[in-house]
Structure 1
Amino acid sequence: MAPLFLDPALLRKRAVLEAADLTPDGAGGASATWRELRELSVHVEPVSVVARERFDRHEAVVTHRVICRWTTDVERGRAFRLGPRRLAILSVHDPDETGRFLVCRCEEQR
């Protein structure tokens, strides 16, 4: 199989990679405090918008595909911050298994 062609020039946006530090709230849940890990160059593509009802409220779930250079720092449960927006990482994979790029499926948090 030939390596997937991904143009490094697409990685034009700067994003901060964040990790959540969870603090128990005493009621069985936890609150997250986001800690900056590093800055990365990324490419962000909107993928879908799905409307749903949650707790008698109408919401829109927006998903994105984020592409970055391969690194061990990017993993499920972390997030990319682009200005005021936070994109939670739902999955991470190496599209052609060459260790060059990572493709992340992300959900925008409000």
Structure 2
Amino acid sequence: MARDRIIDPGALSARLVLEQPAETPDGQGGVTQGFSALATLWARIEPVSARAEETAGALPVTVTHRIWLRRRSDLAGGMRLRKGGRLFALHGFRDPDETGRYTLCDCEEIKP
């Protein structure tokens, strides 16, 4: 993104829940892997690509997105974003214009 492009804060119109990995004891000495809500935030979702690859006779589609957030310093690998029933796995994130105002996340939509 060019430094001279101004991001309109009003474009952050999607309400998302940031989720982090969480382990819950299963009562038998092990744990169950899941997710817990960390924060609710406003974001902008931009579809990037959709790719279909034939696998074992099925044709799963991989959909990627760019998701804009206000700057966050607590993002880490393994986190995801939720919008209702839609889930977005965070694959990478960065400060797009190095001003410390926003975080741009590269995400893949995953099927629950």
With the length of structure 2 as denominator, give the TM-score of the two structures: 0.82
Q: State whether structure 2 residue 86 is matched by structure 1 residue 85.
A: yes
The two structures, once aligned, show a CA RMSD in angstroms of 2.1
Q: Secondary structure at the match of 1:53?
A: coil
For 2:7, the equivalent position in structure 1 comes to 6
Q: Which residue of 1 aligns with 2:75?
A: 74
Q: Tell me, in whole angstroms, the C-alpha distance in 2 between the residues paired with 1:40 and 1:64.
A: 17
Partners of 2:32 and 2:52 lie apart in 1 by 26
In 1, Cα distance between equivalents of 2:87 and 2:99 = 28
Q: Supply the distance in 2 between the matched residues of 1:32 and 1:4 (Cα, whole angstroms).
A: 41
Give 1:47's aligned residue: 48
Q: Does 1:58 align with 2:59?
A: yes
Identity fraction in percent: 37
Residue 57 of structure 1 deviates from its aligned partner by: 2.7
Q: CA deviation digits over 1:1-36, x for unaligned, max 9?
A: 84541110100111000011257xxxxxx9630110
Unaligned runs of 5+ in 1: 24-29
Residues 71, 108 of structure 1: alpha-carbon distance in 2 compared, 3 angstrom cutoff: same
- Which amino acid in structure 1 is aligned with residue 110 of structure 2? Q
CA contact (8 A) 1:4 1:96 kept: no
Task: Tell me how many residue pairs correspond in the alignment.
Answer: 104
Letter in 2 for 1:94: D
Gaps of 5+ in 2: 25-30
Which residue of structure 1 aligns with residue 18 of structure 2? 17
* Structure richer in strand, relative to its length: 1
